[in-house]
Amino acid sequence: MKAPAFDYVKPKDLPEALRLLQQYGAGAQVLAGGQSLMAIMNLGLAMPEILVDITGIDGLRDIQETAHGIRVGALVTHATLESSALIAQKVPLLWQSVPHVAHMAIRNVGTIGGSMALADPAAEYPAVSLALNATITLIGPDGQRDVAAQDYFLGLYETARKEDELLVAVTFPKVSTDEVMIFDELTRRRGDYALCGLAAAFTVKSGVISAARLAYLSIGDTPVLAEAAGRSLVGNKPDQALIEVAQNALVNDLSPRGDLHGSAEGKLHWAKVLLARSLRELEKSA
Amino acid sequence: MTEKRCDISLRINAEQVERPVLVRQHLVDFLREELDLTGSHLGCEHGVCGACQVMVDGKVVRGCLTLAVQCDGKHVETIEGLSESGVLADLQAAFLNHNALQCGFCSSGMLLTALNIVQNHPDATRDEIRDHISGNYCRCTGYQAIVSAIESVLVARRTGELAGVAR
């Protein structure tokens, strides 16, 4: 279908973009790569009054190493992340997740800012950002603020970003030498929306897990941190016995709803399978 | 309400094009309706089927998820231009030889994904080829022939390079 009529502006700088967001409020949608937005509009599921195309704004396309981590500008595309040696080296969990994002033609255009602003529960970066507790930087009429990923995802397609704010960057902590990052997801075909996915950040000292952050995607309204399962791993070596303990603990963390893609029990099973796979992978790397 | 138009100036294949476009018109409608470049097809119109693929500034994109107005100042290459330039010639020949198309609806998009594979993944296995083309739907062939066609070009290019054949 065709999108219904809308207005379009391409602001030259950040102040102009923020003025437009303030002026139009809920009637405005930010356009970056548009790889979800255009699909949603063509399906008639969103009918914005005006699109604010932010791709003309300078300074949102950089990947920078700072004292706090790796700062990724909102307009950095999936394809750029995929080919970035800095991301591969310093934020391996993010880097591992990129090839799972849709298809090359979409990764060439879609942006990290768009993915994080939309906050689709089946998307990869929201779960990665939660596993790493990344920082989301928002700019609005009252200035700039940083929101931790664990405070950012509020509900289905609902985030801490206000409608007059622009998401300008996501900062990921740099991986340290005792951390192991493992991303995996289940799909019917490569590039499809994940049936279930797991972004896992483990800290391992002398073969023993000292911390674990397990962020699931496609299992609830938001990415979900499996805290009980994570705690059950601490102080232990990854082996078959621990896999079973952690899988049992997952019941306390996840309460998936059944839908067209699978029953609630089926989804919980997929979550357990992914947890087992990541712990076996960890065992191999330890 | 009068629908908004914007003046855009862009390069389409070898030609510079300047004209006003409806801001809500996506790139494939612009190519097909305004410029009679009907080689790019419109299937699902929400980014799933891949029939609408074109190149923008040298990268494959979904034409249905790209507004024409977003292409102001850019270089758009379609199946028409890419066929003329010869860059797809060996892939097109392989598609014919392997019967990798029947109705042809998916072929223009499929060929651009295939081009991306031969350019950026020269050592792709059959399984990897399947992963790469998973975003392009074909309802005729069952994909087997398409995978074979792409694989044959990968092999031919590799052997050609080994034999020192200039491409």
Q: How confident is the model at residue B1 (pLDDT cuts 50, 70, 90)?
A: low
Residue of A45, A53, A103 best to disrupt the B interface, most CBs of B under 10 A = A103
Q: What is the CATH number of the domain that holds B30?
A: 3.10.20.30
Total domains in chain B come to 2
Q: Which of B82, B115, B130 is the last residue of a domain?
A: B82
- B27 and B75 together in one domain: yes
Mean pLDDT per block of 10 residues along chain A (286 residues) reads 94 98 97 97 95 98 96 98 98 98 97 98 98 98 97 98 98 97 96 96 97 98 98 97 98 95 96 98 90
Residue B18 lies in a domain: yes
Q: Which residues in chain B touch residue A103, judged by CB atoms under 8 angstroms apart?
A: 50, 113, 134-136
| Mutant choice from A104, A111, A185 vs B, greatest count of B C-beta within 10 A | A104
pLDDT for position B167:
47
| In-domain check, residue B71 | yes
Quick one: B91 and B58 in the same domain?
Answer: no
ipTM of the complex: 0.94
Task: For chain A, say whether B69 makes contact (Cβ under 8 Å).
Answer: yes
Using the structure block, give the residue that is written with the tokens 């548009």. Answer: A34
Which residues of chain B have a CB within 8 Å of the CB of A80?
none
> Does residue B78 share a domain with residue B11?
yes
Structural domain range at position B144? 86-158
Asked if the structure places residue B163 within a domain, the reply is no
Would B166 be classed as within a structural domain?
no
Q: Does residue B138 sit at the A interface (CB-CB below 8 Å)?
A: no
Interface check for B43 against chain A (CB to CB < 8 A): the answer is no
Least CB–CB distance from A103: residue in B3, B56, B134: B134
Query: A 39-68 residues with CB below 8 A of B?
Result: 39, 42-43, 51, 53, 55
> CB distance A39–B1 less than 8 Å?
no
Per-residue confidence (pLDDT) for residue B166, from 0 to 100: 47
The answer on pLDDT for B164 being more than 70 is no
State the pLDDT at residue A1.
86
Domain final residue pick, B31, B51, B82: B82
Provide the whole-model pTM: 0.96
> What tens digit of pLDDT does each residue of A125-178 get?
999 999 999 999 999 999 999 999 999 999 999 999 999 999 999 999 999 999
CATH of the domain at B119: 1.10.150.120
* Mean pLDDT (chain B, rounded): 95
Yes or no: say if B22 and B6 are a contact pair by the CB < 8 Å rule.
Answer: no
Count of CB atoms within 10 A of residue B3's CB? 11
Give yes or no for residue B161 having a pLDDT over 80: no
Specify whether B115 is located in the same domain as B142.
yes
B77 with B92, same domain: the answer is no
How far is the C-alpha of B29 from the C-alpha of B13, rounded, in Å? 16
B45 Cβ neighbours under 8 A, 6+ residues apart: A1, A2, A42, B52, B64
Which among A3, A103, A108 is the nearest to B24, CB-wise?
A: A3
Q: Is residue B164 part of a domain?
A: no
Report yes or no: B64 at the A interface, CB cutoff 8 Å. yes
Say if residue B65 is in the same domain as residue B97: no
Q: Tell me the nearest-neighbour CA distance from A178 into chain B, angstroms.
A: 32
**Stretch B137-151: mean pLDDT, rounded?**
97
Q: Do A43 and B46 touch (CB under 8 A)?
A: yes
What is the rounded distance in angstroms from the CA atom of residue A71 to the CA atom of residue A136? Answer: 10
Output the CA–CA distances (angstroms, integers) from residue A166 to A24, A158, A172, B128, B158, in the order listed.
13, 14, 18, 38, 47
For residues B13 and B56, state if they share a domain.
Answer: yes
**Of A4, A109, A190, Cβ closest to residue B131:** A190
Contact residues for A8 (Cβ-Cβ < 8 A; gap 6+): A31, A50, A51, A53, B4, B6, B23, B24, B67, B69
Q: Determine whether the interchain pair A7/B23 forms a contact, defined as Cβ–Cβ distance below 8 Å.
A: yes
Chain A to chain B Cβ contacts (< 8 Å): 92
Residue B12 φ/ψ, nearest 5 degrees: -115, 115
Same domain? For B30 and B17 the reply is yes
Contact A174, A91 (CB under 8 A): yes
Q: Which residues of A touch B76 (CB under 8 A)?
A: none
In this structure, which amino acid lies at residue A240?
Q
Q: Name the residue among A3, A102, A104 with its Cβ closest to that of B60.
A: A104
Confirm if A80 and A64 have CB atoms less than 8 A apart: no
| One domain, residues B17 and B51 | yes
Are B119 and B69 contained in the same domain?
no
Residue A173 pLDDT: 98
Per the domain annotation, does B167 fall within a domain?
A: no
The domain boundary, picked from B38, B63, B82, lies at B82
Q: Are residues B98 and B133 in the same domain?
A: yes
Identify whether residues B10 and B78 lie together within a single domain: yes
Number of CB atoms found within 10 A of residue A110's CB: 25
Q: Which residues numbered 179-208 in A keep a CB inside 8 Å of some CB on B?
A: 189-192
Sign of the alpha-carbon dihedral angle for A186, A191, A192, A198: positive
The answer to whether residue B50 neighbours chain A at the CB level (below 8 Å) is yes
pLDDT: is A285 or B52 the higher one? B52
Interface of A with B in 103-162 (CB under 8 A): 103-106, 108-109
Confirm or reject contact between A281 and chain B (CB < 8 A): no
Phi and psi of A203, rounded to 5°? -110, 125
